[in-house]
Amino acid sequence: MKEKILASLKRLNIEEYFINITSYKSAQMFFIKKSLDTKRAENTISYNVNVFRSFEKAGKQMKGNSSVYIYSGMTDDEIDAAINRAYLAASFVNNPTYELMDPTENKFVTMESDLNDYSLEDCCEKTAEALFAEDNRSDVFINSAEVFAYENKVQLISSTGIDSGYVKRYISGEFVAQCKEPQDVETYKDFRYYTLDTEALKDKVRKTLDYTLERAKATEAPKAGKYRVIISDSYVGEVLGYYPGRAHVGYIYAKYSDYKIGQNIQALDADGEAAEIKGDKVSMRLLPAEPISGEGIWYKEREFMKEGELKTYHGGLRFSRYLGIEPVGDYYRYKVEPGSMSVEDMKKKPYLWVVNFSDFQMDDFTGHFGGEIRLAFLFDGEKVTPVTGGSINGSILESQTNMYLSKETQREADFEGPYAMMFEDVPVAGI
């Protein structure tokens, strides 16, 4: 099929293109409680062709692009027709012209992981074993689960001479914890790892079972007001993802963000004025999620923030070319240094610790974060009460100079960093 696509591009006189060939293998296990209900395996391949078209409009040089999927079994005429439609569509995309990536180094690499030491089915079985290791209680249990092990083989071919690729493995899945007394409640959790991180998964299951039991006991919402709010688990990564989101070249080019390299982006108040950081200073590194981007940019680990100071932008080829900076690719995986305060220290004063939201949102544009509280622990200075209902409406712009990160850490596929973070005076809508 690769040769057919290349022949079609030549017949159609298309001079600039990227071909992304991805073969997907997976092992899949589906459980009802602890019993294996279904086991499946998949092996598919996809061909994505991204074509570029240069033209002039109003005296300016433009370059549009459009992509199309080509499927095994398509005839030469069908391939020609599909690619030609994409090439026509590219003429309606009025982007200022820019140069595609030239090859810096053509190679094929395998991402390092202990998952490479086992078959995909073995990876699934070891993950399932860890998943159910903590499911040994009578009052709360896992009522269903799904476990997947994936292997992606990617080859990238371009008109500029790129011919590179990689092999990447990862584990993902989901489970539902259930508690029937004093009320019937369920908690959904998903997970994703690039290694056989069985201890992290066991810890996630243990906490989810504990929280589900507490959710069954919770009957009231917190009173409306402002609280010292603690959030933990995946929500920490979502909030701190605000910074890479605002430092994306698309935001910078469109002037949605005024971040500048060398600026202390954390030492700003809600009005954008310089302020003193009284809490923990954020230090963050960008981590590759794969070796090379779909635009032919090789990834590497990069320093992103150092004690609040911005060290680099990130993002794709087009906006980087427009800004005249090195294209480093889009990063969505990052590592944050732990903070100065333990979780126990965070809980020494009255707090509202939200451990589960019904729908958590972090807005990279406005800086607002929050959502409906599914389960939180309210400490009034004397006792801890599980609560449910109401919502929080925080702003990282109002809180970033006075937020604290925990010493304790967590690790997921796309985030490594503090387990919890604390904010002062966050508005909470309640009863």
User: How confident is the model at residue 192, as a pLDDT?
Assistant: 96
User: How confident is the model at residue 300, as a pLDDT?
Assistant: 96
Q: Rounded to an integer, what distance in angstroms lies between the CA atom of residue 151 and that of residue 427? A: 44
Confidence of residue 269 (pLDDT cuts 50, 70, 90): confident
Confidence of residue 283 (pLDDT cuts 50, 70, 90): very high
Tens digit of pLDDT for each residue in 188-247?
999 999 999 889 999 999 999 999 999 999 999 999 999 999 999 999 999 999 999 999
In the DSSP assignment, the letter for residue 314 is B
Tens digit of pLDDT for each residue in 13-37?
999 999 999 999 999 999 999 999 9
User: How confident is the model at residue 104, as a pLDDT?
Assistant: 84
Domains and CATH numbers, the chain: 2-212 (3.30.2290.10), 218-431 (no CATH)
Rounded mean pLDDT, 308-330: 97
pLDDT surpasses 90 at 105: no
Exposed, middle or buried, 348 (CB in 10 Å: 0-12/13-18/19+)? exposed
Confidence of residue 273 (pLDDT cuts 50, 70, 90): confident
User: How confident is the model at residue 352, as a pLDDT?
Assistant: 97
Rounded mean pLDDT, 54-58: 95
Tens digit of pLDDT for each residue in 135-194?
999 999 999 999 999 999 999 999 999 999 999 999 999 999 999 999 999 999 999 999
User: What percentage of the chain has pLDDT greater than the value 70?
Assistant: 100
Of the candidates 25, 27, 24, 23, the one whose C-alpha atom is nearest the C-alpha of residue 146 is 27
Whole-angstrom distance between the N-terminal and C-terminal Cα of the chain?
A: 62
- Token pair for 377: 């622990």
pLDDT surpasses 90 at 271: no
Confidence of residue 378 (pLDDT cuts 50, 70, 90): very high
Of the candidates 116, 415, 166, the one whose C-alpha atom is nearest the C-alpha of residue 294 is 166
pLDDT surpasses 90 at 270: no
User: How confident is the model at residue 9, as a pLDDT?
Assistant: 97
Tens digit of pLDDT for each residue in 82-95?
999 999 999 999 99
User: How confident is the model at residue 212, as a pLDDT?
Assistant: 97
Q: Do 304 and 241 touch, CB atoms closer than 8 A? A: no
Q: Do 290 and 168 touch, CB atoms closer than 8 A? A: yes
User: What percentage of the chain has pLDDT greater than the value 90?
Assistant: 96
Confidence of residue 2 (pLDDT cuts 50, 70, 90): very high
